[in-house]
Amino acid sequence: MDKNIPLTEAVFYILLAVRTPNHGYGIIQEVERLTDGRVTLGAGTLYGAIQTLEKKNWIRVYSVDTESRKKKEYVITALGREVFEEERARLEELLKNAELMEEMKEND
């Protein structure tokens, strides 16, 4: 298994939220929307994760708005998409196996 996965839930949702360019507050809002408010990213968590993801080259700065407090937009990289897809496939396998076990249990 790739040493980059499993991803934390926060990292998974951050990568999902930057599939198109998005800024920090937009990422927070997108994650809350996607999870119906179940996951709320604090600024410290988000920006710590962003720094790590940039170092790993999973996301990159897309643009900087110099007129709006230097607000940065981030976007997922090809490597980030690859890691995300590996994690998505891993999660799908987990669900498939859970469903198989449930079917086997029902048929006993």
Strand partners, 61: 74
- Give me the residue spans of the domains in the chain: 9-107
Please report, to the nearest 10 degrees, the dihedral formed by the alpha carbons of residues 78, 9, 32, 29 taken in order. Answer: -40
Give tens-digit pLDDT for 3-56: 788 999 999 999 999 999 999 999 999 999 999 999 999 999 999 999 999 999
Give tens-digit pLDDT for 57-104: 999 999 988 776 778 999 999 999 999 999 999 999 999 999 999 888
Residue 2: per-residue pLDDT: 64
Q: What topology is assigned to 9-107 in CATH?
A: Arc Repressor Mutant, subunit A (1.10.10)
